Amino acid sequence: MPAPQKRIRKGNRETADLLITNAEELVTLAGDNQKPRVGKQMRELGIIRDGSLAVKDGFIIAVGKTNDITKKFKSENVLSANNKTVLPGFIDAHSHLIFAGSREDEFQMRVEGASYMEILNTGGGILSTVKETRKASVEKLAAEGLATLDTMLEHGTTTVEAKSGYGLTTKDELKILDAIHRANQLHTVDVVPTFLGAHAVPPEYKGNTQGYINLIIEEMLPKVAEKNLAEFCDVFCERNVFSLEQSRKILSAGNSHGLKSKIHADEMSMLGGAGLAADIGAISAEHLVFSSKENLKAMAAKNVIAVLLPAAALSLMNGKYADARLMIDCGVPVALGTDFNPSCLTENMQLIIALACYLMRLTPAEAVTAATINAAHAIGRTNEVGSLEVGKKADVVILNAPNHKFLGYHFGTNFVDKVVKNGRIAVDKEIDPNKIVHLEE
């Protein structure tokens, strides 16, 4: 006699805190995520059609077909994602979250043809933001950071990297990092701190770059490390700012304090920052608009992640964009970020995905990979976020879109229906149809 088939009775279903069911596309990014994705792997999204996931205590406990998940789990909180796309929360791998003031007048100057360096040389640009930020209290900076995080979350971002760099004195750099920490503690979005004291040479050190580098190495870095205020050390490696050798010294000092290296590289000229990133084994190099093929190959060999910032390139208005196709062909892992800052003022990773498609020819799938799992790698959070897999944080976005390709295709809109952060519903845009007023009726 055949053994009776084992049946899971409804009463035996495990209770989950939250179920998300019936997703048209459940974009899991599941797989061997020990290393950032390169080449063809960037197109493998691990999509489950009619997908579901179960959440308990803030973490994902099951992912699969709706049929299978609802046989095993029940919950008082079930979100139907019928006709919707479900993705890991977006990860913004590069932002300058904390600063004071705004620069809309300079924006107009740029529209009228002034270059970034021309504006910088007349005391505008970053230096005008430094002036405002030095005057601002830590409370004010944290409050503005929280408002920015609200907007990021509304657009589906659940983790963001945040750099200092608008203080440029020891006191003010520590103040910004303190504001980043306060924002991280008070907001549901996770904020990962980076020390960027080497963002520019402040006016009081004009003509004495070495003096400022000494200040960074001898005073700032030891205090940042002692107070445990940053995970990464970054440098703006650019002609007339910090040279390759100066950048190497600063990053190596950061390393000796346990801070991993990031580099603003080759944004405005082919200085060779990408090669330096490979040479010192940086976790990432950012911008890379003018990087040489040789240096990109060196990055690929060392698995240095290219954090591409299409909105930053767009805001420079010079028509130059990173060669993302060449990078992917060379085997460089690609990630994305907003570069949110006073001259590139966007919080919206959906826009970044679209710009990456239109301006850098990433496919929608590659752009989604770059904005999730590869971005997680770029900020050292792969074990926690970046994919919808068992054991990871339940950071999930539900989009009012039938598939992930709409992220590039239909641009300039906010597709977010719901955002789940640490297993809790943090954004809910669902409109109660009874509340819509039809004036004609």
Nearer to Zn ion, 64 or 310 (CB): 310
265 or 354: CB nearest Zn ion: 265
Residue ranges of E strands in 139-271: 157-163, 190-198, 232-237, 260-265
Q: Specify whether the CB–CB gap between 284 and 378 falls below 8 A.
A: yes
Q: Give the C-alpha separation, 294 to 88, whole Å.
A: 34
What number of other Cβ atoms are within 10 A of residue 135's Cβ?
11
Residue nearer to Zn ion on the CB measure, 190 or 339:
339
- Taking CB atoms, the residue at the shortest distance from Zn ion is 339
Classify 10 as helix, strand or coil. helix
Q: Please report how close the Cβ of residue 265 comes to Zn ion at its closest, in angstroms.
A: 11
Instruction: Pick the closer one to Zn ion by CB: 41 or 159.
Output: 159
Beta strand 416-421 with 396-399: parallel, antiparallel or unpaired?
Answer: antiparallel
Nearer of residues 200 and 416 to Zn ion, judged by Cβ = 200
Min separation Cβ 267 and Zn ion, Å: 8
Q: How far is the CB of 263 from Zn ion (least distance, A)?
A: 10
The CB-based long-range contact list for 109-115 (8 Å cut-off, 24+ gap) reads 110/315, 110/316, 110/317, 110/343, 111/317, 115/318
Closest contact distance (angstroms) between CB of 171 and Zn ion is: 22
Shorter beta-carbon distance to Zn ion: residue 149 or 237 = 237
Which candidate, 144, 184, 130, 88, places its Cα nearest to that of 385?
88
281 three-state secondary structure: coil
Report the distance separating Cα 156 and Cα 90, nearest Å.
6
| Shortest distance (Å) from residue 341 CB to Zn ion | 6
Binding site residues, Zn ion, CB under 5 A = 339
Question: Whole-angstrom Cα distance, residue 416 to residue 334?
Answer: 24
Q: Which is nearer to Zn ion, 339 or 395 (CB)?
A: 339
| Min CB(177)–Zn ion separation in Å | 16
Distances (CA, A) of 264 to 50, 271, 388, 407: 41, 11, 30, 27
Least distance in angstroms from the C-beta of 124 to Zn ion? 17
